[in-house]
Amino acid sequence: MTASAFDISSQWLFSVQALQDTPTEFSTQKELYDRARGVEFLYRLGSSLQLPTSAMFTAATWFHRFYMRFSMEDYHRQHVAAACIFLATKTEECGRKLRDVARVYCAKVTSTEVTSISQDSKIVDEAQADILATEEALLEALCFDFVVSSPHSELLDLFEAHGDDIELQEYAWSLAHDSYRTPVCILYPPKIIAAACYVLAQRVQDGQNSPSLDARISSPAPSASLPTPPSHKPASPETSRFAICYFGFSESEVASLAEALCILIEFYGAQDINEVHPYLTPIATVPLPTITTALPRLYVPPSQITRQGNNEEPQPTEEGPGRTPSSSHGGDTPSK
Amino acid sequence: MNTTRWHQWTQWKRPTLRGSRNGKSGCICFPVILLNIFRSKVGKVGEGTYAVVYRGRDASTNRQVAIKKIKVGQFKDGLDMSAIREVKYLRELKHQNVIELLDVFSSKTNLNLVLEFLDADLEMIIKDKSVVFLPADIKAWMAMTFRGLEFCHRNWILHRDLKPNNLLIASDGMLKLADFGLARDFSDPGYKMTSQVITRWYRPPELLFGCRYYGTAVDIWSVGCIFAELMLRIPYMAGESDMDQVKTIFRALGTPTEEEWPGHKSLPDYVPVGDFPKHPIRQLFLAATNDAVDLLSKCLIYEPRRRISAKDALSHTYFFALPNPSHPSKLPKCSTVTLKPLDEVDGNVEGAGGLKVKAAQPNRLKRKLTGPDGEAGRSIARKLDFTRQTPGSPSL
């Protein structure tokens, strides 16, 4: 919009390196694993409250921004998720009563039905106080920048321009939802994330023998000038490179795109694809694109997560990643 | 850039950055903007229900600012909606006819909005009977109102509370839209919105009938009412209750027929209030030019979709016909100044500590604190402690 609006948004893009320097003392892998669980919790709160998805994406972005400034030891992910959801209901004009948010929160934490949580029980009061206290810290961390853009609006433009089949759109749309489980929303602008979701969706849909991600996102110049063997020309190159051409990415943007793709695929790869989420296999097994600068290892299967610091929390082994545990894991209330 | 940000953030966390006190001059200093804060009776912005307004000064530019201090903790639902709306929209809107939000910062339990300081509002000027308006003055105010509003609408924001006392006047005569506590964005036409917005006298008939889907036309109606008020010098349609408001409108403009406003009878809160004849709007505005009456009647069209848009209003012949709008600096000002002039305030401060000492301070402070990325420091919220009273500051 205006120059100042641009400045505000660019303040919220961090380098991948910054993920390793967050205030949280855990190992980066552990932190990202917990962030994913927090976003899962946030989504579950949001859908129980029947919020519009746009409000949930805003809340999820804030969730990631918050942990760039405060540590996960001080603020429990569930409190932060609830505070993000509550604040988003206010800024996105879909107001919910604090008491209702608190009740749903209690229901999710204790794995019970919302109806079984009575209006005036003590735990609801406590949850309300926690949400309000966290909201204050959240406002501070956000610097009152409430306006957030999501990759979904970019995706809509893409869909409109391309007129794709519904299946591809659903794939890309779901990938964009899932992208919030990773911190890509604070690493790359929405356009890059939208393109990454779209390209990955195309690759998954086209199957294993379709052009690699590298081919899909490479610069057009060389291949256009070189004669292509006719046999080596599957599903027209224009289609597979549609998103890249549509956005007209520069070289550095393509590099970011490759990084975003790596993060997304690695995230899926770290899920329990054998037992819990077998349907993720086609995404998780997509070969990574080549990237110029090496990314740190961000995702490992949960069983391999080590944590630094002195917390004695048991390793979550039996749960699928991204699942919020029903128990509060000892350290539920942040140390005051 | 990211690393700089990060660097800055880690600095931000250090306690030294929080409002440190400069003992000699007795003022609270903090990075980037250094403000001297006074308790002063600066109007009741926001009706005093959720905010107290303080007057201050940006020491680096010597500019007057208003600080709207909102208590976060006092609401049972956390930060107040109107505060959220105000911050959300004003952070984005930068226009010469929209009040500027210079900064936002939080102290322990308060949210503080640093706004540009404006000394009068249009209501004060309209009510001040010693001031004479020329048609050119009215044209200038209308042009500035429409410009500000067009900018909001262009950015998909509805103001939803336009009235003379939300149109503030700067010392150089510029008019600015203020109080975005009821504003909202309106991208999605199918999204239900509340009809309980806009101060009654300026509320369009569709909202009075409980319409839940509306757009920019609601603000245009308000501007029409303000336009009429500028010419009449009294509120044009002042109803005593919501029901009476409908009657007042119909009495002034005639009861709408089904052709004039298709479908209005099926609005949720529609009640027939009687048949009032139509008088030509001209009768009441005898001194106005034809162009002025034409623009006014286009703002007050019953059917919201036919009401003129802010953009079209700006190219209406009224604004191009003679007399040309007055230059802002030539516009009439309020004769009764309710605020102490700043000079006097300055005097007090100097007596307390000496301006020169302070003037030197911010620079040193700035260099030390903001580091390599001084400009960008603006958007970073800082911690402040307002509970400490400044010993030198006068209690007005």
Question: Given this model, what pLDDT does residue A220 score?
Answer: 56
The model's confidence at residue A308, banded by pLDDT at 50, 70 and 90, is low
- Residue A4 in this model has a pLDDT that exceeds 80: no
Q: Is B210 left (phi over 0), alpha (psi -120 to 50) or beta?
A: left
C-beta of residue B116 within 8 angstroms of C-beta of residue A155: no
Question: Given this model, what pLDDT does residue B336 score?
Answer: 57
The model's confidence at residue B130, banded by pLDDT at 50, 70 and 90, is confident
CB contact under 8 A, A98 and B77: yes
Question: Given this model, what pLDDT does residue B69 score?
Answer: 82
Please confirm, yes or no, whether B161 is among the known catalytic residues: yes
Give contacts of A90 with chain B, Cβ < 8 Å.
78-79, 81, 84
What are the pLDDT digits (tens) for A210-238?
778 887 877 654 444 455 554 444 445 56
- Catalytic pick from B103, B121, B161, B179? B161
Question: Given this model, what pLDDT does residue A164 score?
Answer: 64
Q: Residue B101: enclosing H or E segment and its boundaries?
A: strand B101-107
> Over the range A230-244, which residues count as b (16 or more CB within 10 Å of their CB) and which as e?
eeeeeeebeebbbbb
Q: Does A318 touch chain B (CB under 8 A)?
A: no
Higher model confidence: residue B355 or residue A91? A91
**Nearest by CB to B87, which of A4, A21, A146?**
A146
Give contacts of A131 with chain B, Cβ < 8 Å.
78
Q: Closest Cα to residue B288, out of B127, B132, B134? A: B134
Average per-residue pLDDT for chain B: 73
Report the distance separating Cα B215 and Cα B195, nearest Å. Answer: 11
Most confident of B83-97, B218-232, B279-293: B218-232
* Closest chain B CA to residue A22: B6
Least confident of A151-155, B28-32, B135-139: B28-32
CB contact under 8 A, B5 and A132: no
The residues pairing with B157 across neighbouring beta strands, listed in sequence order, are B185
CB contact under 8 A, B94 and A136: no
Report the distance separating Cα B23 and Cα B37, nearest Å. Answer: 15
Report the distance separating Cα B283 and Cα A304, nearest Å. Answer: 83
pLDDT over 70 percentage in chain B: 70
CB contact under 8 A, A87 and B78: yes
Residues 6+ apart with CB under 8 A from B130: B335
Question: Given this model, what pLDDT does residue B341 score?
Answer: 41
CB contact under 8 A, A146 and B84: yes
Question: Given this model, what pLDDT does residue A332 score?
Answer: 42
Q: Does B379 touch chain A (CB under 8 A)?
A: yes
Q: Is B112 left (phi over 0), alpha (psi -120 to 50) or beta?
A: beta
Q: Does B281 touch chain A (CB under 8 A)?
A: no
**What's the rounded mean pLDDT across residues A32-53?**
92
Please tell me the distance in Å from A140's CA to the nearest CA on chain B. 6
**What's the rounded mean pLDDT across residues B118-124?**
88
**Nearest by CB to A140, which of B5, B73, B381?**
B381
Higher model confidence: residue A275 or residue A329? A275
Least confident of A74-83, A261-270, B342-351: B342-351
Q: Does A91 touch chain B (CB under 8 A)?
A: yes
* Closest chain A CA to residue B102: A4
Report the distance separating Cα A163 and Cα B220, nearest Å. Answer: 38
**Nearest by CB to B79, which of A69, A139, A145?**
A139
- Residue A298 in this model has a pLDDT that exceeds 80: yes
Least confident of A121-125, A173-177, B139-143, B257-261: A121-125
Average per-residue pLDDT for chain A: 79
- Taking the CB of residue B159, how many other CB atoms lie within 10 A of it? 26
How many angstroms separate the Cα of B69 from the Cα of each of B66, B104, B394? 9, 10, 18
**Nearest by CB to A13, which of B2, B3, B93?**
B2
ipTM for the whole complex: 0.73
Residues 6+ apart with CB under 8 A from B123: B163, B164, B165, B167
pLDDT over 90 percentage in chain A: 25
A281-288 — which CB contacts under 8 Å span 24+ positions?
Answer: A282/A204, A283/A175, A283/A200, A283/A204, A286/A200, A286/A203, A286/A204, A286/A213, A287/A212, A287/A213, A288/A213, A288/A261, A288/A262
What are the pLDDT digits (tens) for B310-366?
999 999 999 999 899 999 988 888 765 554 444 333 333 333 333 333 333 333 333
Question: Given this model, what pLDDT does residue B49 score?
Answer: 54
Q: Does A125 touch chain B (CB under 8 A)?
A: no
CB contact under 8 A, B9 and A98: no
Question: Given this model, what pLDDT does residue B286 score?
Answer: 85
Report the distance separating Cα A280 and Cα A273, nearest Å. Answer: 6
**What's the rounded mean pLDDT across residues A32-39?**
92
What DSSP character marks residue B65? E
Domains of chain B (ranges, CATH numbers): 3-116 (3.30.200.20), 120-330 (1.10.510.10)
Domains of chain A (ranges, CATH numbers): 18-148 (1.10.472.10), 150-221+236-329 (1.10.472)
- Residue A330 in this model has a pLDDT that exceeds 50: no
Question: Given this model, what pLDDT does residue A236 score?
Answer: 53
Question: Given this model, what pLDDT does residue B299 score?
Answer: 95
Question: Given this model, what pLDDT does residue A250 score?
Answer: 84
The model's confidence at residue A41, banded by pLDDT at 50, 70 and 90, is very high
Q: Which of B1, B4, B5 to mutate to test the interface with A (most CBs of A within 10 A)?
A: B5
CB contact under 8 A, B381 and A143: yes
The model's confidence at residue B55, banded by pLDDT at 50, 70 and 90, is confident
Higher model confidence: residue A124 or residue B394? A124
What are the pLDDT digits (tens) for B291-306?
999 999 999 999 999 9
Question: Given this model, what pLDDT does residue B160 score?
Answer: 93
- Residue A163 in this model has a pLDDT that exceeds 60: yes
Tokens 């975005």 correspond to what residue?
A: B180
- Residue B41 in this model has a pLDDT that exceeds 70: no
**Nearest by CB to B78, which of A18, A86, A93?**
A86
Strand ranges across the sheet with B51-58: B51-58, B63-71, B110-116, B101-107, B383-384
